[in-house]
Every structure is written in structure tokens, then in C-alpha cells.
Amino acid sequence: MATKKKTKAVKNTAKTSSKADEFRGKTPDELGTELTKLKKESFNLRFQRANGQLEKTNRVRQVRRTIARIETILTEQRRKAAAAG
């Protein structure tokens, strides 16, 4: 059974890295736009949760993690630009 757990972990990691790679291919302006959109969605999801209207509770977690991914990639790009310049 231990091998099944390892295989499952590898599959999840592959999906995460492909999302990050997808974001790395975008410009900082595109990432900023995406970040703004996700923060607005996060705000709306928090309101829905407070009012008891939130149906897809896992979406809060997905949005929060995607925001963290984008912020991490923006930081990477800034550091790379500072090192090169």
C-alpha cells in the first residue's frame, strides 16, 4: 500500500508544478492582473461563507493557494531581475 501513496503524491506534485510553470510563462503584468482577479474572488468567497451561502467550500483553499503561487513567482522574477541588472 505504501507504493500507492507514493504514486499519488507524485501525481499531485506534477499537477502543482505544471500550474506553477504555466504562471512562470506569463509576464509580471499578466500575473498582476490574475492576482487582482483572484483577490476579488477571495473577498467574495469570504462574504459568501459568512452569510452561509458558500457551496463550494474547497474553492477558498484553491484560490488562497493560487494567490500564494503567483506571489511566489512574482518574487522569483523580481529577484532574477535584480540579480541580472
Domain boundaries, the chain: 30-85
pLDDT digits over 17-50, tens only?
688 999 999 999 999 999 999 999 999 999 999 9
Residue 61 pLDDT class (50, 70, 90 cuts): very high
Q: Against a cut of 0.85, is the pTM above it? A: no
Q: Which residue has cell 510553470?
A: 21
Q: Region 59-64: what's the mean pLDDT? A: 97
Helices (H), 1-85: 2-24, 28-51, 58-84
Q: What's the pLDDT at 74? A: 97
Between CA 34 and CA 17 the distance in angstroms is 18
Task: State the CATH architecture for 30-85.
Answer: Orthogonal Bundle (1.10)
